[in-house]
Structures are given as C-alpha cells and as structure tokens.
Amino acid sequence: MIRYAKPTTIDEALTLLGEASWSILAGGTDFYPTQGAKPFRENVLDINGLATLRGIAETDSHWLIGARTTWTDLVRYPLPAAFDALKQAALEVGSVQIQNVASVAGNLCNASPAADGVPALLVLDAEVELRSVAMVRHLPLEKFILGNRRTELQPGEMVTAIRVSKNAATGTSAFEKLGARRYLVISIAMAAARLTIEDGIVSNAAVAVGSCSAVARRLASVEAALRGLPVNGALVAAIQSASMDELSPIDDVRGSAEYRLDAAREIVARAVLGAAGHASDDKAVAA
C-alpha cells in the first residue's frame, strides 16, 4: 500500500521525508495534471497541513515567502515596488482559480522553462530555502533550477521558503508576458526588469527572460549596458544593441526560435521602460 501523510509540523514532515521517497502535494496545480488519469503509485506527502509555511514575513535582512504561499496571497500582500514584477507575473499564472491555490515555491519546484514566476524572482536575486532533517541551506535561484523539470532538490529535502534580501528589494520593477491568447496561456516569452534609478540615472539594473532557454536567465550584458544610462530613449537603444547570449530558445508549437529571440528583445525593452515608469502604449496581446 502506498503511503499518504499530512503532517502538521515541519519537523514531522522532514522526518517523513527522511524515511522514504515521497511526491509532495502542495497547491495541486502541477501535481494533478502530471498525474492525469494514472493510478497513484508513489507515496504522497501532503504539506497543506503545514500552517507555518503559508504567508509572507519580514526579517531585518529578508523578505520570506513561505513555501505554501499562493499567488493570490502574494498579490494581496503589501510589498515594496521591487516586487511589482512578481505581482504582475502572479496575475498571469493560469487563472484566478489557479492563483488561489498554486504556490509560488511550487512554480520553482516544477521547473518549467515557461514558469512565469522565475524571471521576476531572478531579478530580485531570490534564494530558495531547502530543509532536511540534517540541514537548512540557501541556494540562489539560479543554482536551484538546473534545467527543464530538474532542480537541485535532494532526497529528504523540501523547499520551505523563498528569500529575498532587502538589499535586492529596491527600486521599481515590471513584467511583460507574451502569449498567443489573453488568459490561461503558456508564455512564448516573458521578461522581468528591476531598475534602481537615482537622479534620473539607472544605478542598477536586473533583467531576466523566461521561455527562451531551458531555465529563465538573467541578461548580464543588457544589465551592464543599462547601468549609468539616463532614463530616456537611450535605454531602448542600449537594449537593441546589447548581447543576449544567455538565451538559447527552441522552435516549438508556440513560436520559432528566431521569433523568440526577436520578441525577447522587444519585451525586455518594454519591461525596462515599464520599470522606469515609461510604460509603453504597446502592449502584447497577453500582457
């Protein structure tokens, strides 16, 4: 007989994780579609009894997003403007029905190349908190998601929180999503940008693009090119000429690789302008 457990404390959950192999059930929005009509053959660890994992908290140094925090929870929680991109992404995750139960952390664990939450968390320099009976470790998000559907999660470990350093939670941010219809759409490409602007000059820039590589990527050359620029047409010009070597899109049913590269540059420009408060009138169909 396969096992089902719904622990009510993290210690209990970690002990169970140390005992056997489990599939973790949180919001269920990836769990059930993956399961389809197949019978259950794996132990299921239901973490929905872990009340302490739901919600957003603030420490002296960090913002902590508990692993069970839903997209709706996030949208409703007052956060600094640096989180605006993440909140805009939240509103594009599936539908309201999905946002009401799907967890932000689950979006990371599912490790889809098209995960809408990843670019916005990358520009926040987010870390993932992993716990096992033996230890707690913090991994930068870039080091947690390894590839398409692959993460650094080890046997016996679970994600307990997403951490954002207050040093990174500064400035303003924006998110752009490109899809072939308005709602319920898997992104062809998406971009998040966070800018710190001092005296009309970009002092810091963080830019990430998703759906254009196996894992969403920060764009180092674009960020470098933006730093020190005045907030005007120079931003777009810099983006137009900067390297986006990090991206390696594929052809699929949603668009060609060539199209993705072309469109990525455009939505990066729009996200940067959005973060700079120069919202372009040009909105993608699904933006």
- 6 contacts another protein (rule: CB under 8 A): yes
By CB under 8 A, how many residues form the interface with another protein?
A: 55
Q: Cβ closer to another protein: 101 or 214?
A: 101
Long-range pairs for 142-145: beta carbons < 8 A, 24 or more residues apart? 142/215, 142/218, 144/108, 145/108, 145/111, 145/118, 145/215, 145/216
- 279 contacts another protein (rule: CB under 8 A): no
Do residues 65 and 52 lie in contact, with contact meaning Cβ atoms separated by under 8 Å?
no
Q: Hey, what's the torsion of the CAs at 73, 76, 77, 81, to 10 degrees?
A: 120
Shortest spacing between CB 138 and another protein, in angstroms: 29
Instruction: Please choose, from the candidates 108, 106, 133, the residue with its C-alpha nearest in 3D space to the C-alpha of residue 12.
Output: 133
Task: Estimate to the nearest angstrom the gap between the alpha carbon of 263 and the chain centroid.
Answer: 20
Indicate which single residue of 95, 148, 241, 243 sits in contact with another protein (rule: CB under 8 A). 95
- 53 contacts another protein (rule: CB under 8 A): no
Indicate which single residue of 7, 27, 156, 171 sits in contact with another protein (rule: CB under 8 A). 27
- 61 contacts another protein (rule: CB under 8 A): no
- 28 contacts another protein (rule: CB under 8 A): yes
Site for another protein in 169-188 (CB under 8 A): 178, 180-186, 188
Shortest spacing between CB 200 and another protein, in angstroms: 25
* Tokens 């990174």 found at: 168
Indicate which single residue of 10, 20, 98, 220 sits in contact with another protein (rule: CB under 8 A). 98
Indicate which single residue of 15, 48, 132, 203 sits in contact with another protein (rule: CB under 8 A). 48
Q: How far apart are CA 83 and CA 5, in angstroms?
A: 34
The span of 33-41, 53-61, 162-170, 224-232 binding another protein (CB under 8 A) equals: 33-41
Indicate which single residue of 10, 12, 15, 44 sits in contact with another protein (rule: CB under 8 A). 44
For the chain, what's the residue count?
287
Q: Cβ closer to another protein: 27 or 117?
A: 27
Q: Cβ closer to another protein: 124 or 236?
A: 236
Burial bucket for residue 214 (CB in 10 Å: 0-12, 13-18, 19+): middle
Shortest spacing between CB 139 and another protein, in angstroms: 28
Q: How far apart are CA 8 and CA 12, in angstroms?
A: 7
- 101 contacts another protein (rule: CB under 8 A): yes
Q: How far apart are CA 63 and CA 162, in angstroms?
A: 8
209 Cβ partners below 8 Å, 6+ apart?
Answer: 119, 189, 190, 191, 216, 217, 219, 244, 246, 247, 264, 267, 268
* Tokens 């993705």 found at: 260
- 193 contacts another protein (rule: CB under 8 A): no
The span of 35-43, 140-148, 149-157, 233-241 binding another protein (CB under 8 A) equals: 35-43
Q: Cβ closer to another protein: 171 or 255?
A: 255
Classify residue 255 by its DSSP letter.
Answer: B
**Interface contacts to another protein, rule CB under 8 A:** 1-4, 6, 25, 27-29, 31-33, 36-41, 44, 46, 48, 72, 91, 94-98, 100-101, 178, 180-186, 188, 253-256, 258-259, 262-263, 266-267, 281-286
